[in-house]
Amino acid sequence: MTHAGSDEVSDDLEMRGSLEIKNRAISRTAITAALKDPRVTRTTGGMSRLTGRELPRADVTLGEDTIAVNLYIGVTWPSQITEVTEAVHAEVEDALATMTGLHVHRVNVLVSDTTLASGPAPVSNPDASQTVSPRPPTASPAAMPVALLFGFVLLGVAFVAGREFLIAQGTIGGSPWIADAIGWVAGLHWQGWMIAAAIGSAVVGLLLVLIGVKPRTKTHSGLGGSASTVWATPTDIARLCSAAAQSTRGVVDAHTVVTRRKIDVRVERDPGFEVDGIDSAVREALAPVLSVAADGRRSTVKHTSAPPTRVT
């Protein structure tokens, strides 16, 4: 009697089925939560859809019981990027935990665009085997154009093979290309141009190998160090630095160039102010931004005197 009851329970559990959450559903949940913040902009349709640059967009890494998300957003300018990303991070993390019931291992918020306009820390998972990490923000693979080229070449090979098959079956007429090509190659003899062709082939082969193993280019910088969950592009870091420099008394204009190794801030000062005083004031204004956005870069401040205003 007990054995029969256990069989009925087992059959009942099997009939219930299983629950599977698709990456697309998790992505839409993260995007919807991000758009609750009015400072987050939406870019969709047109070329954005064709190039895969729609914003917000989310790349989801789904483990057995954990979720990791890279969330790309655009923000209105001049919003405080750190405030927006922290608010979006908290909102998205809460939404994912509530809607899916899974452990949210990490949510990376990446600012990919700014538009001119008129949170809780991740909980560590004691089961390290089930922990997943999101993919770092990087550019498209360097080998992508080569892969597309080879894809078209393979399509051409498939076309030629299909044509040869139809000719062999008598479906269509015409001379066989493969047989003619093989006959032409078989009739070749050693010539001087073959040395150049061999060298060129070796060079192209080495270039393709280098392209294939080349790591992806870093497109964002972490705000706050390597363990940061907030990322920004060099352009947005430059805007933050320029805005901080322009807020300094005596600075007429500011322009910032951000490279992989340094942050170069160039300011135009009012001729009535001393260089040393403006230099220290600008560096003091930049300190809060550089403390979270420098990411190991060396910072420099250069001064030029603004031309005097002519009154006529």
13-37 residue pLDDT tens: 455 556 567 778 888 888 888 888 8
Report how far residue 241's alpha carbon sits from residue 221's, in angstroms, rounded to the nearest whole number: 14
Question: pLDDT tens for residues 38-91?
Answer: 888 887 654 444 445 678 888 888 777 788 888 888 888 777 888 888 899 999
Q: How large is the average pLDDT for residues 120-130?
A: 41
Question: How high is the pLDDT of residue 129?
Answer: 43
Q: Give the pLDDT score at 229.
A: 61
Residue 302 has pLDDT above 70, yes or no: yes
Indicate the SS3 state at residue 50: helix
Residue type, 139: A
Token readout for 267 is 């300011």
The residue whose two tokens read 């073959």 is 194
Note the pLDDT of residue 312: 45
Residues 293-309, mean pLDDT to the nearest whole number: 79
Across the range 256-264, mean pLDDT stands at 89
Q: Which residues contact 288 (CB under 8 A, 6 or more apart)?
A: 244
pTM of the predicted protein model: 0.44
- Top pLDDT among 152 and 14 is at 152
Confidence of residue 150 (pLDDT cuts 50, 70, 90): confident
Residue that is written with structure tokens 């290309």 in the block: 177
